[in-house]
């Protein structure tokens, strides 16, 4: 009935079910640092429309261990201004329409994540370990959405989203 964005089989720079809808952002004033309020990425988010794309380059590292470089893009939107509460019941969001699908706004609400990972290819099963970074976050205010400038080499290890996946080789 609903679509979700983010996670190991989606846009890997976001935790599972934590991206979108659209440019909607739920702010967490309780965790404000120096008066700066951050986005609450702990709440699951659901939508009616999902658009995702991914490109991945894989190559052998050594033996059964491969590495991968990837770029994920997409988001999910609401058809109407409605969503889900934590208990799964529907609620109407009247504050704004940042999460509602709009053909003109959708290109500006695409989230982009990139990263690298290891693939343990056992020929019958592949174990994936990915580290992903947010490049473009549509939930942030315009002008602050591009995040690559914010990453510093000495703190880069603190920023990624870790994804673990198990699947079949293709």
Q: How big is the CA angle at 22 (ends 21 and 25), to the nearest 5 degrees?
A: 70
Q: Which of 44, 33, 58, 125 is nearest to 89 (CA)?
A: 44
pTM over 0.75: yes
- Report the pLDDT averaged over residues 158-163: 88
Domain span including residue 78:
27-167
B/e letters for 90-106, b = 16+ CB within 10 Å, e = fewer, are: eeebeeebbbbbeeeeb
Task: Please state, in angstroms and rounded to a whole number, the distance separating the CA atoms of residues 136 and 114.
Answer: 10
Q: Is residue 17 part of a domain?
A: no
- Indicate the pLDDT class of residue 102, thresholds 50, 70 and 90: confident
For residue 26, pLDDT beyond 70: yes
Once rounded to an integer, what is the mean pLDDT over residues 163-168?
Answer: 92
In angstroms, the first-to-last Cα distance of the chain is 28
* Winning range, highest mean pLDDT, from 1-15, 22-36, 94-108: 1-15
Tally Cβ neighbours within 10 Å of residue 156: 11
Residue 5 lies in a domain: no
In-domain check, residue 88: yes
Asked if the structure places residue 122 within a domain, the reply is yes
Question: Can you give the pLDDT at residue 110?
Answer: 96
Number of domains in the chain: 1
Count of other CB atoms within 10 angstroms of residue 12: 29
Overall average pLDDT of the 115-127 stretch: 95
Percentage of the chain surpassing pLDDT 70? 84
Residue 146 lies in a domain: yes
Tell the burial category of 13 from Cβ atoms under 10 Å away from its Cβ (0-12, 13-18, 19+). buried
Domain contains 71: yes
Angle at 54 (CA atoms; ends 57, 11), nearest 5 degrees: 120
pLDDT of residue 114: 96
Average pLDDT, the chain: 85
Q: How far apart are CA 146 and CA 110, in angstroms?
A: 11
pLDDT for the residue 79: 86
Q: How confident is the model at residue 22 (pLDDT cuts 50, 70, 90)?
A: confident
pLDDT over threshold 70, residue 107: yes
Q: Is residue 1 part of a domain?
A: no
Structural domain contains residue 109: yes
93 pLDDT above the threshold of 60: no
Confidence of residue 94 (pLDDT cuts 50, 70, 90): very low
């Amino acid at each position: 009935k609903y679509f979700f964005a983010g996670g190991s089989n989606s846009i890997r720079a976001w935790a599972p079910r934590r991206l979108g809808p659209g440019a909607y952002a739920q702010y967490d004033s309780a965790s404000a640092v120096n008066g700066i309020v951050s986005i609450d990425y702990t709440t699951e988010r659901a939508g009616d429309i999902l658009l995702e794309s991914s490109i991945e380059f894989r190559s052998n590292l050594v033996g059964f261990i491969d590495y991968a470089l990837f770029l994920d893009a997409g988001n999910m939107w609401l058809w109407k201004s409605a969503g889900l509460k934590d208990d799964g019941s529907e609620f109407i969001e009247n504050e704004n329409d940042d999460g509602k699908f709009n053909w003109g706004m959708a290109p500006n609400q695409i989230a982009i994540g990139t990263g690298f990972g290891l693939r343990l290819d056992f020929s019958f099963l592949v174990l994936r370990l990915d580290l992903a970074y947010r490049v473009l976050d549509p939930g942030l205010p315009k002008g602050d959405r591009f995040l690559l400038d914010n990453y510093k080499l000495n703190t880069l290890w603190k920023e990624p989203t870790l994804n673990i996946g198990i699947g079949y080789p293709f």
